[in-house]
Chains A and B, each alone.
Chain A
Amino acid sequence: MSKSDDRALRRQDDQEAQRLLSGVARNLDRTAFAELFDAFAPKVKSVMMRKGATHELAEDLVQETMIAVWTKAGLYDPTRGAVSTWIFTIARNLWIDRHRRDGVMPLTVLDDYDPPSGEAGSDEVVWRKQEAQLIAQYLDEIPPEQKEPLILSFVEGMAQGEIARRLNLPLGTVKSRVRLAYGRLRKKLEVLQ
Chain B
Amino acid sequence: MNIHHHLDAATLSAFAAGTLDGALSVVAASHISSCSACRAAALKAEQVGGGLLASLEAAAVSEDCRAQTLERLDRATLHRFPAKASSKSEFPAPLARLLPGMRLADLKWKTKAPGWAMVDLPLPAGSRGKLFLVRVGAGKSMPLHGHGGSEITLILSGAYNDRLGRFAPGDVADLDEAVEHEPVAEADQPCICLVATEAPTRFKSRMVRLVQPFIGV
Contact = CB atoms under 8 A, between A and B. Distances in A.
Contacts of A105: 22, 98, 122-125, 127
Contacts of A126: none
B124 A100 contact: yes
A47 interface: yes
A154 B52 contact: yes
B51 to A, nearest CB: 5
A86 B53 CA distance: 10
B54 A37 contact: no
Interface in A107-164: 107-110, 112-113, 115, 131-132, 135-136, 138-139, 150-151, 153-155, 157-160
B51 A110 contact: no
A92 B17 contact: yes
B111 interface: no
B105 interface: no
A151 B70 CA distance: 31
Given A46-B56, A112-B93, A82 B50 contact: yes
Given A107-B124, A108-B94, 9 more contacts: A41-B65, A42-B61, A43-B56, A58-B59, A95-B18, A100-B126, A103-B124, A110-B15, A153-B17
17 contacts: A41-B66, A42-B59, A62-B69, A67-B69, A71-B79, A80-B46, A84-B50, A85-B47, A87-B50, A92-B49, A101-B125, A102-B125, A109-B94, A110-B25, A110-B29, A160-B14, A182-B13
